[in-house]
Structure 1
């Protein structure tokens, strides 16, 4: 797949960059989903002698654990503000890694530059899925490892995006829904026969930080870029804002297992790029 309208694409990327710079995604990563990064780092067997690229790394939820395990890590993201926060967090923990602003759809690295490419609920938000998959394969050495964690369409975050969709501006032509990266068949189709040893597991992340549905909604309206953007798009329509509030509160209540505890489903995928002769 090639992106032909570069002006429109640059405008879309600028919009995405600004969206993720709003709120406080680092708080989401640290307070709500901190377990995901270590899960991915372990899944790709991060360790000494391994050069790892974390695509759409955000504030380093997976990159920092991988570096702590001894790997040589490069963390990239479209939004420099998130990388600055990640670098500060890594410094507090005495962890050293490289932070570089980069587009997941145009990675500034040579072919075969990495032993492992991973992404923790990050690459799924780039609009052109096939382009991202192609870039992941390109920068991996033959026999290299792919590790991905993405929210599933059926899980809580996938359903949250479905709930917000009627209130959001229509996506630009060619942009694909982020939760598709949480569908095993979609991911397999993106990589095709360029990978082997594919293992896909649907898992649950326990989330216990929100005592009530109202607490969840307040937190996400304050910290999470996509939620902030949808509310901003409806700022002149009080009825739409009230309906969106109620729809998201209903979603949280339906997923409440008791006492505010929830489980958010994600897909963990590991694979290996085909080596010569495979």
Structure 2
């Protein structure tokens, strides 16, 4: 049974790796969520001499600002194509980081190795939340800082996943929906008494890049791995494709604040590992 589960898990992780290589997530992160990196660096108080791990770092949206703040940073991610994009960007900026391929649910780092362990809309996509939370805490030193930014279930991106769900393949057994990491009570339950000084706040990211709901939809269809994967699941079913096209545009239309700006809600969590 163990081997069967292991094989299934390996297949799932391979599927996730491939999904995040679809499209152009580094461009999307740069265009839309770049300010979140600076937000988490400030919230965690990252500075000179600290050893920092960014879990599910993607192309370094938070890792690079952490390194620019003077920290020694390991940027880890399941998808090597994202790390390679981040490495190129860091080189252009003259910033040194350690880029390592790693599974958030089985990190290749020692216990208590880092002063700060963080993730910005990354760890939420690891399917088994209890496993990734355990790893998040394990590699942080006692008294060290944990920092998380994740999309809320009720916010725009959480609702985008809810919109895509009827069109996507069923989730694997035991997987928890990604936006649950944006629910304060869920995160509290994941971290439990292994942390102290738990703080959570809902904030919003204002996105004014798209002039129409259809422009938002088409941008995500071309660049965002989960959206691309959902459309691929529909194959040549033109009616279902048209329905998803309509639903995603309607989502953006409902969340327009009246000036063409979309407000994307996220949960910012900080805590300390119990000593």
Residue 250 of structure 1 is matched in structure 2 by 250
1:16 aligns with 2:16: yes
**Secondary structure in structure 2 of the residue aligned to 1:5:** helix
Distance 2:81 2:214 in 1: 28
1:233 aligns with 2:229: no
Residue 59 of structure 1 is matched in structure 2 by 59
Residue 103 of structure 1 is matched in structure 2 by 103
Map 1:181-192 to 2 at 5 A: 181-192=181-192
1:71 aligns with 2:71: yes
Distance 2:264 2:237 in 1: 30
- Structure 1 outlier segments of 4+, above 4 Å: none
Residue 26 of structure 2 is matched in structure 1 by 26
1:82 aligns with 2:85: no
> Are the aligned partners of 1:117 and 1:136 in contact in 2 as well (CA < 8 Å)?
yes
- CA-CA distance at 1:156 after TM superposition: 0.1
**Cα deviation code 1:171-202 (max 9, x no counterpart):** 11001100000000000000100000001000
- CA-CA distance at 1:236 after TM superposition: 1.8
Distance 2:223 2:41 in 1: 25
Distance 2:19 2:59 in 1: 15
**Secondary structure in structure 2 of the residue aligned to 1:110:** coil
Distance 1:177 1:106 in 2: 19
Distance 1:241 1:86 in 2: 32
**Count of matched residue pairs:** 274
Q: 1:3 to 1:28 in 2, by over 3 A?
A: farther
- CA-CA distance at 1:235 after TM superposition: 1.9
Distance 2:234 2:3 in 1: 30
> Are the aligned partners of 1:210 and 1:260 in contact in 2 as well (CA < 8 Å)?
yes
**Secondary structure in structure 1 of the residue aligned to 2:34:** coil
- CA-CA distance at 1:56 after TM superposition: 0.1
> Are the aligned partners of 1:195 and 1:274 in contact in 2 as well (CA < 8 Å)?
yes
- CA-CA distance at 1:259 after TM superposition: 3.5
Q: 1:274 to 1:3 in 2, by over 3 A?
A: farther
- CA-CA distance at 1:3 after TM superposition: 10
Distance 1:3 1:182 in 2: 32
**Secondary structure in structure 2 of the residue aligned to 1:47:** coil
**Cα deviation code 1:245-267 (max 9, x no counterpart):** 11111000001112321110000
Structure 2: which 5+ runs fail to align?
none
Distance 2:4 2:29 in 1: 34
**Cα deviation code 1:69-92 (max 9, x no counterpart):** 000000000000000000011111
Q: 1:4 to 1:148 in 2, by over 3 A?
A: farther
Residue 46 of structure 1 is matched in structure 2 by 46
- CA-CA distance at 1:60 after TM superposition: 0.3
**Cα deviation code 1:79-137 (max 9, x no counterpart):** 00000000011111111110000000000001000011000000000000000000011
Structure 1: which 5+ runs fail to align?
none
Distance 1:85 1:149 in 2: 21
**Cα deviation code 1:214-270 (max 9, x no counterpart):** 110110000000000000000221110000011111000001112321110000000
- CA-CA distance at 1:27 after TM superposition: 1.1
Q: 1:271 to 1:3 in 2, by over 3 A?
A: farther
